[in-house]
Structure 1
Amino acid sequence: MADDMGEKEEVKKVGSGRSDGRRGGRGRGRFGKSPGGDWNQAKKTGQRDRNGNKRDAKNGQCDLEVSLQEELMSGGLRVRGRRAQVSINHLLQFQLPEIERQQRTGRKMGRRKNDNGTVVHLHGDSFINANYRLLVDDSCEYEEQGLDPNVLVPQEKIVRVIVPRGQNCPICLAEEPVAPQMVACGHIFCLSCLINFFSVDQVQDKTSYAQKKRLKECPLCGSIVRSSKVKPVLVEEIRADEIPEAGAETCLKLMCKPHGSILPLPVELGVDPLAVGNVPSLDLPQVADYAHTIRCSSSKAIDLFQKDIDGIKTQYEIDKILYNDDGKYYKMAWEDLSDRITKISSQQNDDKPAIEKAMESLDLGVDLKEKYQDSNAFFFYQTSFHSSTRFFLSPLDVKILLSAFHHYSDFPENLQITVENVNYGSILTPEMINRYKYFGHLPFGTEIAFIEVDWRDNPILPKEVYQQFNTELKQRRRKLSIKKQKEDKQKLSYQKRLEREHAEFYKRENGEPLTSQEAHALTALADDYLLDSLPSPSHDSSPERTLNPDRRTHNERTIWGTSIPVIPDEKSSRENQEFEAMLLQRMQQDNEPNEAPKNGKKGNKKKGKVMLFSNTHRNL
């Protein structure tokens, strides 16, 4: 009986991992070499113990974990290696810090944030919606887009994305992409180039463990692009004189946007925006030029695809002659366009009723100033309607006109002005729309530029009104002058610093280390020779300048085509002259007629070899 009790007590000690041989296991650094090690292994595998009784593996695993924890806490387990020397006890008491929430007060602390400081993140379809106009299928009503311009048009309803001319294909580098297509990030490619891009598989290095990318990335920005998100593009012309510039004259049109409409139209056009609708038809060019979303009929869509096919065939003939191109991807491109034409033709309806309905809605001759007032419509000035940047009159100039005409609706229909400045960099945000209500027809993220008017010698503005705002106009003109002077000064300083660095570099490469006096003179030379457009009256612009009484500089042309000042070294010059004389003498000897060979034998005269040496003397 005593033996049984002793055996149970021994098993209990071994099972808890606290046997008498616990300290003895430190030398080996391994757990399980205690008297109970074999029995612990039996617990893991579910085998039998010393007495032949089968142990439960699940209970044995729990007991083993408890034993390991006790060994770790008591220090009985020792592990070798560098990791064992790093203490991680601080992780046992790790707690996440409490989040300190600041109580918001009515008064903002620190600098007041500008409305333009709000960041608007645009990506994918939202970027395209904010920067380009859209041709959409005329089979839908687009009521949601008529209420909110930020609601995106579904991918399958977009017929074309209207972009200004000047977009190049980044794959073939064509100035005008053939059958242009736009990917999700907004970059434009030729259709044949895009098909080639999607068909090429990624080259996987056999020695690399990196996984092969499943999705394609834009070669310009790295965004994920998919063939299902590609949109056809319609390129439109933008005249250079449409973009307002400082010092040039431009014409602003008075726009009328009734409340509840997102289609502003010029007052001089005489068309009611509510009668036309928020999404006009492309068959009404007088109205479509001012709309963001335009309906496109099936017949017009087919004509556009047919033009793309003609462009692809023409480009294929050119590449076949010039580069002997087999036309694989060109054929795939026009087959894809032919399938699109077939799909549209199968769903095509009679477009004549839609065109007739659009022409009936175009009621010309409506006096918008009589029909709409400041209470039920917005009146504002705008220009350059085909540009992705929207140009509006600055708030101060609007305030001046309001003081002169008392009502927005009484503003002149056309405002011929001289542009004093154009302020770029404003992005439409919700805060800006709350401040300027007439921006409500534009989506968030649209780039806006404000035009500042030079009211001097402008007959539209009365003199008393000009005198009233003379102080503000002078202050604005003064800020503009200070800004330009600051920019010119920074540009001039950067150019001088760049030219001085180049001059010092060339000097170090061609001559001796400079003393302080020579470095000062070299800086003056750099200003004279390398900044010809900015002459300094205090420096002489002669080709030679005296650095020391016995030493003069001259200019030499480098292999890069630049002119640098060089101080001649007398010793080096004398050696160069001797070398040139020796080389000239050797060349004259080679040109002399060969002597007759002796004993009637033809002698093979070996050509002389000239060994060239280069030696640069530097005084340290």
Structure 2
Amino acid sequence: MLRDSGSTLALPKEGGTDVVNVGEDVPWHFAANVLDYAPIMKGTNDYLAEQFDRETEDLRRQAQEDEHQFGVEDGDWTQRAIRAINTARDKLSEQKSEDTIGVLEASTARAKQPAGQQFHFYMAPPHLYLSPLDIRILKTKFGDFSNFPSTLLPRVEHISTGHVVDDALRKRAKYLGHLPYGCVVSFLECDWTDIVPAEILEAFKPDVERRRKAHQDKAAQEERERVQAERMEAAAIGRGARRHFDQDHDEGIDSAPILNSDDFQPLSSVAGTTPPNPRPGFEQLATLSTSPSASRTVWGTPAIPVSPTLRPTQEQEINDGWLKEDEVFGPAEIAMQMEAFGLDGSDSGPANGPAPTKGKKKKKQKITLMSTGGHRGG
């Protein structure tokens, strides 16, 4: 790229020395490379009319597309824009063509004036420039900036980004003086092994190695910071999850209803609420309370008390109104009946157990004892 000192216009070296562009901060649109590199330019009446027509056609086409997609537009905004363009075109047609010719002659006269200091530098769109160290290496090889080739294809080692144009940067890199304040630029750091001789690269080897080591240290530091940030983030997520679990657990405990001992009154022996005859084990139900008992299970729950042992009770003789057998029969009659039924004490067979017998067992006979001499007692 080529730029004159005191000018904001930077154009490629090939065609940058055009007499039309030299000394012009705002070049004409028909100059070489102006449409691609110039931030601002001037246009002739024909060029401006052509641009007005193209803008009008674009507005009409966009209005038709919007109508098909979104329906009829509310208001006449497209027509207002077209009318404004037509008004500007009418004002342009009133100007005389001699004005343009006079401007061209004045520009040519200024172009014949000798140019001041010129800056040569390499640039790749949008804002990629060669680093100062690489420019020093090339200047050592080619001798002067004007001898630099128009195009270079080196191997890029690193791209230093995030440099903002300010006074310090403009003082260090004067060829960037045409860029506005606040513009963010990037510098390319290249390997010139196949372009620059080895003896020249050996002279700049300490600076190149120092630059590479700085990049390696920066990359290692960024990797350590990244790992540390990931660990801190993981720890924060773990603490947040535990805090969330504790809050939910506490809310679950707090939301549980609190048992009140007044809600569980012990059963009392009030008339009508207890059975007439006490039963074994009923007293445990009558003394139920909410206080935990001394014995608990292995799970921490209250153990169920064991029911008391129930023993057989001796039946009491109750006078039901019927006479006893000893009151109806005499001793002789009772003995005869016992002998007939085989209940005599002398017969030891039934007492000692049945003896093993062979053959078919004898079928037992059922005998019903009837009494006809009984009477109801008073």
Counterpart among 162, 179, 186 of residue 425 in structure 1: 162
Unaligned 5+ segments in structure 2 are 250-378
Q: Distance in 2 between matches of 1:256 and 1:422?
A: 23
Measure how far apart 1:444 and its partner are.
3.7
- The answer for the alignment partner of 1:395 in structure 2 is 132
- The answer for the alignment partner of 2:79 in structure 1 is 331
Counterpart among 27, 48, 60 of residue 301 in structure 1: 48
1:272 counterpart letter in structure 2: T
> How does 1:371-382 map onto structure 2 within 5 Å?
376-382=117-123
- Alignment coverage as a number of residue pairs: 243
Q: Distance in 1 between matches of 2:214 and 2:161?
A: 16
Q: Distance in 1 between matches of 2:46 and 2:151?
A: 36
Deviations 1:325-382 (A, max 9, x none): 3341333333333333333333363798589979x99x9xxxxxxx99xx95332222
Counterpart among 485, 499, 504 of residue 220 in structure 2: 485
Structure 1 residues 298, 327: closer, same or farther in 2, change over 3 A?
A: farther
% same residue: 25
Measure how far apart 1:475 and its partner are.
1.5
Q: Distance in 1 between matches of 2:202 and 2:10?
A: 33
Residue 415 of structure 1 aligns to a residue in which SS? Answer: coil
Counterpart among 461, 464, 467 of residue 196 in structure 2: 461
- The reply on whether 1:450 has 2:226 as its aligned counterpart is no
- The answer for the alignment partner of 2:90 in structure 1 is 342
Measure how far apart 1:396 and its partner are.
0.9
- The answer for the alignment partner of 2:332 in structure 1 is none
- The reply on whether 1:473 has 2:208 as its aligned counterpart is yes
Q: Distance in 2 between matches of 1:500 and 1:307?
A: 60
> How does 1:168-183 map onto structure 2 within 5 Å?
none
Structure 1 residues 337, 452: closer, same or farther in 2, change over 3 A?
A: same
1:382 counterpart letter in structure 2: M
TM-score between both structures, scaled by the size of structure 1: 0.34
Contact 2:132–2:173, Cα closer than 8 Å, also in 1: no
RMSD over equivalenced CA pairs, Å: 3.9
- The reply on whether 1:441 has 2:184 as its aligned counterpart is no
Measure how far apart 1:311 and its partner are.
2.5
Measure how far apart 1:497 and its partner are.
3.7
- The reply on whether 1:272 has 2:17 as its aligned counterpart is yes
Structure with a larger share of its residues in strand:
1
Structure 1 residues 318, 412: closer, same or farther in 2, change over 3 A?
A: closer
Residue 452 of structure 1 aligns to a residue in which SS? Answer: strand
The higher radius of gyration belongs to 2
Unaligned 5+ segments in structure 1 are 1-254, 364-370, 515-620
Contact 1:298–1:351, Cα closer than 8 Å, also in 2: no
Deviations 1:457-504 (A, max 9, x none): x31111111122112111111111222232333334434444554455
- The answer for the alignment partner of 1:257 in structure 2 is 3
Measure how far apart 1:410 and its partner are.
2.5
Measure how far apart 1:403 and its partner are.
2.3
Q: Distance in 2 between matches of 1:392 and 1:416?
A: 13
Deviations 1:143-164 (A, max 9, x none): xxxxxxxxxxxxxxxxxxxxxx
- Runs of 4 or more, structure 1, over 6 Å off, are 354-358, 510-514
Q: Distance in 2 between matches of 1:505 and 1:459?
A: 56
Deviations 1:246-274 (A, max 9, x none): xxxxxxxxx3334565444333x154155
Structure 1 residues 273, 335: closer, same or farther in 2, change over 3 A?
A: same
Q: Distance in 1 between matches of 2:82 and 2:238?
A: 57
Measure how far apart 1:510 and its partner are.
6.6
Contact 1:264–1:273, Cα closer than 8 Å, also in 2: no
Structure 1 residues 446, 324: closer, same or farther in 2, change over 3 A?
A: same
Contact 1:263–1:273, Cα closer than 8 Å, also in 2: no
